[in-house]
Amino acid sequence: MSLFKPMENLGDEPQEKNEQKPQEREHVKCLILGSGPAGYTAAIYAARANMEPVLYQGMEPGGQLTTTTDVENFPGYPEGVSGPQMMEDFKKQAERFGTDIRWGMATAVNFDKMPREVVIDDKKVIEADTVIIATGASAKYLGLEAEKKYAGSGVSACATCDGFFYKGKDVAVVGGGDTACEEALYLAGLARKVYMIVRKPYLRASKIMQHRVMNTPNIEILFEHETKDLYGDGVVEGAILVKKRGTPEEEEVKLKIDGFFLAIGHKPNSEIFQEYLETDEVGYIKTVPGTTRTNVEGVFACGDVQDKVYRQAITAAGTGAMAAIEAERYWAEKYAQTHPA
């Protein structure tokens, strides 16, 4: 299901009788959309640069990290930290410098307008001199009840985040693309055995990734297998797979595993921007290499909504800092003379 609604009813055109036009308007120097590591880091930098940022938290306050357990790879936390706690720390730090953090999500935009316009919750229009998009991406899940039941107790969509907890254990990775291969290879360095559950009789991944996976002794690929369910007493103890579904050889197979990793793709939360911003075929917002600038002046993108390669909290935070610095420089060049702070 889409996180955002498509753009509608913006601009000065007369509205149909019964349509409600967003009424309330507010002007801000810097609007940040999203509250993961990218959004909050952008807020910390923008607030300290006197950009008076307003941040809308979006649908999942704190972002994807609020769904993980311990974060052990973010520098500065030598003992590790829980995902939700870390995001609370990010939030407090952004608040400390005066970021105006609000509930609500962007439901439409008009980037033809100057200042840029963003509609919040279908009712309020924010006119923003600069917009920083940090709306993230969402991992795709299969849609099984069991994925919710065992979330954080054996089910994960991030091997780099959670793989360490499966040292010496048996795990499965679902998917046959580059991400699945990368996750399987990463896990193979930690786990005793890694199964790849692939629904087709072949991998979709690039040849080089296929080659690496095939040549890793503790990875076993289960082609033409689909996941029907997971079982276990409080934590994942195994998966029930269907082999060769829809053929005369169809059979159910039990696979004993301790961890079940989804790697069937991510969906960047970029729908409402796609009319204005260049994206790749999946929807990741394109930025000018080495910057967070989009094709629309004054609009910057950071974090997972523009990153399909690294997708780490630390890299998201890094691009968040870049976005704020670039937004501040843009603002200083464009607006400092006309409406100084």
- By annotation, the residues acting in catalysis are 158, 161-162
> What is the three-class DSSP state of 272?
helix
- Which residues does residue 133 pair with via DSSP β-bridges, in sequence order? 33, 301
Answer yes or no whether residue 265 interacts with ligand NDP by CB under 6 A. Answer: yes
Which CB sits closer to ligand NDP, 106 or 181?
181
C-beta nearest to ligand NDP: residue = 177
Residue 257 · residue 239 · CB < 8 Å: yes
> Residue 14 is encoded by which pair of tokens?
């007369």
Question: Residue 308, interface with ligand NDP (CB under 6 A)?
Answer: yes
Q: Compute the least distance from the CB of residue 312 to ligand NDP, in Å.
A: 13
d(C-alpha 71, C-alpha 49), whole Å:
29
Nearest Cα residue to 270 out of 246, 291, 294: 294
Distance of CA 243 to the CA centre of its chain: 31
Q: How far apart are CA 265 and CA 262, in angstroms?
A: 8
Cβ distance to ligand NDP smaller for residue 99 or 319: 319
- The correct pick among 43, 44, 264, 327 for binding ligand NDP (CB under 6 A) is 264
Site membership for ligand NDP, residue 200 (CB under 6 A): yes
One character per residue 88-117, x = contact with ligand NDP (rule: CB under 6 A): ------------------------------
Shortest reach from residue 224's CB to ligand NDP, in Å: 10
Contact flag: residue 182 with ligand NDP (CB under 6 A): yes
Nearer to ligand NDP, 10 or 194 (CB): 194
42 sits near ligand NDP (criterion: CB under 6 A): no
Alpha-carbon distance values, 176 to 170, 181, 197, 209, 319 (Å): 18, 7, 8, 10, 29
| Whole-number Å distance between alpha carbons of 311 and 79 | 22
Question: Residue 79 is encoded by which pair of tokens?
Answer: 């003992």
Under the criterion CB under 6 A, does residue 283 sit at the interface with ligand NDP? no
Q: Which residue from 67, 138, 179, 269 is in contact with ligand NDP, where contact means CB under 6 A? A: 179
327: helix, coil or strand? helix
- In 3D space, the residue among 4, 50, 10 whose CA is nearest the CA of residue 30 turns out to be 50
Instruction: Return the bridge partners of 242, or none.
Output: 226, 252
Name residues contacting ligand NDP, limited to 107-166 (CB under 6 A).
142
Query: Per CB under 6 A, which region of 157-165, 197-205, 287-295, 332-340 contacts ligand NDP?
Result: 197-205
What is the torsional sign of CA 243, 249, 250, 252?
Answer: negative
Q: Does 178 bind ligand NDP (CB under 6 A)?
A: yes
Nearer to ligand NDP, 23 or 215 (CB): 215
Residues that bind ligand NDP (CB under 6 A): 142, 174-180, 182, 199-200, 204, 264-265, 308
